[in-house]
C-alpha cells in the first residue's frame, strides 16, 4: 500500500470547514452549493482513491448486511411518509424536472463524503480519538453555513435549527462512522441514496415540524447502531464462544414503543396534551414549572363548560390556563370570563369559545421547568401567562 499523508487530509478537511464558516455570510449560496463544496469533496475522494489501496469497501456478509440496511431504510421511509396521514402533507419543494440538478446538489456530496469517511477511518481503525475527531470534522463539513448563520438573528429559530438539524447530524455521523468501520461505506450509501432519491422524486412530503424531524433523524441512526452492533456481537459470539449470551435488540422494543407513545403525547396527537406553566397565577392549584395535562374538548363539551372549570385557551401566541368565573353568549358566540386563582382581578378580555383548546385534567409538579427556562431565553423577559 502506498503511504498517505493523513496529516494533509485532516488539515484540508479542517481548512475547508474553517473556510466555509468564515466566508458563509459573504459567499454566494449557489457558488458554495454547486461549485466549491462538490469540487472540494471530489478532489479529496480522487486523492484518496489513488493514494490508498482502495480495499476499505470490502466487508463480510455482503448480502446479509445489505439486506438488513435495505429493510431498515424502507421501514423508515414507510413510517416517515405515513406520518403525513396524521400531520398532513405539503408539496415537495424539489421539482422532478430539476432532478439531476438536485441530485448533484443533495446526493452526490453525500456519496463523496462516505467514500472519504471510509478511506480515513479504515486507516485509523484502532484509534478511538480519531473516531471522534472525524465525527466532528464530518459534522462541520455537512453543515450548510449559509443557513446556519441565517438563524443567528433569532434565538428561537437557532434553537430549532440546532435541535432539528445539528444534533441529529451528530447522531447520524456517529452511526455512519460505526457502520463504516464495522462494515463498509456501501452500507451507508444504500440508505443515503435510496432515501434522498425518494425525497427528490415524491411530489409530496409529510408536514413535520422541527421537533418531529429532529426525533425522526435521531431515532434512525440509533436503530442502525443497535441492529448492526447486535449482528456483529452475534457473529463474534459464534466465532469465539458458545456460552456467552448477547442481548437481542428485540428487548429494546418496549422502550422504543414507550418513547414513541411519549413523543406522540408531547406533540398532541392524543386527546390529552401537556403545557408548561410559566407563572404563579393559579397557585395553589399548580405552580410555575408544573406541567398541566388538558383534554381537547369537542363542540358539545365546550357548550357544557360551567363556572369553576379550569380551561386552557390561546391568547397572543400564548396558551393560558385559568378558571372560568362566568360565561355569556353574544351574537351567537359563547364567551367565558376567566381569572387566575392567585390574581386579584379577572382577565382583561373574555375568551371566545373558538379560542378554548382544552379543559384542565391534572398537573405534574416541576417537570415543566426546562420549557419555562427556554421560554424566558427566547422572549427575553419573564412571561406573565402560562405558555406551551
- As beta bridge partners, residue 276 has 291, 387
Residues in contact with 195: Cβ distance below 8 Å, sequence separation at least 6, in sequence order: 73, 76, 77
What is the pTM (predicted TM-score) of this model? 0.65
H/E stretch holding 337 reads strand 333-339
Options 3.90.1170.30, 1.10.10.10, 2.10.109.10, 1.20.1070.10; CATH of 272-379: 2.10.109.10
In tens, the pLDDT along 163-172 reads: 888 999 999 9
Q: What share of the chain is helix, strand, coil (3-state, %, to 5)?
A: 60, 15, 30
Q: Among 20-29, 70-79, 306-315, 338-347, which stretch is predicted with the lowest mean pLDDT? A: 20-29
For residues 341 and 193, give the distance between their C-alpha atoms in angstroms, rounded to a whole number: 57
Tell me the three state secondary structure of residue 180. Answer: helix
- pLDDT band with cut points at 50, 70 and 90 for residue 1: very low
Segments making up each domain of the chain, as ranges: 6-266, 272-379
Exposure class string for 215-245: b at 16+ Cβ within 10 A, else e: bbbbbbbbbbbebbbbbbeeeeeeeeeeeee
Nearest to 303 by CA among 321, 284, 324: 324
Indicate if the pLDDT at residue 263 is higher than 70. no
Amino acid at each position: 500500500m502506498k503511504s498517505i499523508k493523513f496529516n494533509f487530509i485532516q488539515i484540508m478537511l479542517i481548512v475547508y470547514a474553517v473556510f466555509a464558516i468564515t466566508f458563509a455570510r459573504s459567499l454566494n449560496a449557489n457558488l458554495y452549493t454547486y461549485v466549491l463544496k462538490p469540487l472540494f469533496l471530489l478532489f479529496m475522494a480522487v486523492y484518496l482513491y489513488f493514494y490508498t489501496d482502495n480495499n476499505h469497501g470490502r466487508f463480510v456478509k455482503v448480502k446479509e448486511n445489505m439486506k438488513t440496511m435495505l429493510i431498515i431504510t424502507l421501514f423508515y421511509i414507510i413510517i416517515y411518509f405515513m406520518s403525513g396521514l396524521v400531520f398532513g402533507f405539503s408539496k415537495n419543494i424539489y421539482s422532478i424536472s430539476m432532478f439531476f440538478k438536485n441530485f448533484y446538489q443533495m446526493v452526490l456530496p453525500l456519496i463523496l463524503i462516505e467514500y472519504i469517511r471510509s478511506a480515513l477511518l479504515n486507516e485509523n481503525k484502532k484509534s478511538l480519538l480519531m473516531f471522534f475527531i472525524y465525527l466532528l470534522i464530518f459534522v462541520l463539513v455537512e453543515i450548510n453555513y449559509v443557513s446556519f448563520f441565517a438563524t443567528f438573528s433569532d434565538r428561537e429559530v437557532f434553537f430549532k435549527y440546532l435541535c432539528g438539524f445539528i444534533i441529529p447530524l451528530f447522531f447520524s455521523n456517529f452511526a455512519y462512522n460505526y457502520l463504516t468501520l464495522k462494515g463498509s461505506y456501501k452500507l451507508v450509501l444504500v440508505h443515503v441514496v435510496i432515501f434522498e432519491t425518494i425525497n427528490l422524486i415524491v411530489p409530496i412530503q409529510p408536514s413535520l415540524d422541527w421537533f418531529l424531524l429532529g426525533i425522526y433523524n435521531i431515532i434512525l441512526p440509533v436503530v442502525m447502531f443497535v441492529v448492526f452492533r447486535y449482528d456483529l456481537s452475534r457473529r463474534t459470539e459464534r466465532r469465539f464462544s458458545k456460552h456467552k449470551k448477547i442481548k437481542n435488540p428485540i428487548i429494546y422494543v418496549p422502550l422504543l414503543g414507550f418513547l414513541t407513545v411519549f413523543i406522540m403525547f408531547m406533540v398532541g396527537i392524543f386527546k390529552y396534551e401537556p403545557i408548561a406553566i410559566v407563572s404563579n397565577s393559579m397557585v395553589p392549584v399548580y405552580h410555575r414549572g408544573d406541567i398541566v395535562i388538558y383534554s381537547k374538548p369537542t363542540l358539545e363539551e365546550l357548550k357544557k363548560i360551567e363556572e369553576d372549570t379550569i380551561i386552557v385557551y390561546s391568547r397572543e401566541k400564548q396558551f393560558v390556563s385559568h378558571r372560568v368565573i362566568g360565561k355569556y353568549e353574544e351574537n351567537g358566540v359563547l364567551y367565558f370570563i376567566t381569572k387566575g386563582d392567585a390574581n386579584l382581578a379577572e382577565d382583561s378580555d373574555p375568551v371566545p369559545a373558538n379560542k378554548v383548546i382544552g379543559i384542565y385534567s391534572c398537573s405534574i409538579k416541576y417537570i415543566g421547568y426546562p420549557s419555562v427556562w427556554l421560554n424566558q431565553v427566547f422572549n427575553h423577559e419573564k412571561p406573565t401567562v402560562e405558555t406551551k
